[in-house]
């Protein structure tokens, strides 16, 4: 497989995280309801989940920019690193939700 094809596939892999930013304002708005239950403001996993939701665009946009710059510089390794950074935002949100399910039994108050 040629380098240009590999880099194009990696850049194309950045499209789903970028499209997920369309739903981020809704997630941001709904994240305030994580703190409805009494005592949930003192729950570390709930605060962690809210923080990862609020910061979600940072790794996605940074990763997309790094991937684009690496694509322009013909650096396949950096393209892969930028793509991994783009997907890390969704991975962190999933991990924090898993922590709430595992530690708190699915409740936002521990």
pLDDT tens by residue, 8-43: 777 778 889 989 999 999 999 999 998 888 888 888
Q: Is residue 33 part of a domain?
A: no
Q: Would you say residue 50 has pLDDT above 90?
A: yes
- Residue 27: inside a domain: no
What's the average model confidence in pLDDT over 104-110? 84
**Quick one: pLDDT band at residue 108, thresholds 50, 70, 90?**
confident
Q: What is the pLDDT of residue 1?
A: 61
State the pTM of this model. 0.82
In a domain, 57, yes or no: yes
Residue 53 located in a structural domain: yes
Residues in the chain: 110
Q: Is residue 73 in a domain?
A: yes
Range of the domain at 82: 3-18+39-104
CA 19 to chain centre: 12
The answer as to whether 29 is a domain residue is: no
Q: Tokens for 58? A: 């940072």
Q: How many CB atoms lie within 10 A of CB 32?
A: 9
Mean pLDDT calculated for residue range 85-110 = 90
The count of domains in the chain is 1
Evaluate whether residue 28 is within a structural domain: no
């Amino acid at each position: 497989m040629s380098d240009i094809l590999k880099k194009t596939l990696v850049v194309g892999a950045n499209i789903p995280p970028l499209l997920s930013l369309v739903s981020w304002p809704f997630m941001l708005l709904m994240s305030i309801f994580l703190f409805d239950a009494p005592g949930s403001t003192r729950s570390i996993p709930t605060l962690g989940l809210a923080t990862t939701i609020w910061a979600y665009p940072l790794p996605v946009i940074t990763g997309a920019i790094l991937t684009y710059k690496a694509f322009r510089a013909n650096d396949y390794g950096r393209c892969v690193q930028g793509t991994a950074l783009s997907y890390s935002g969704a991975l962190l949100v999933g991990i924090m939700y898993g922590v709430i399910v595992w530690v708190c039994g699915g409740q936002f108050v521990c």
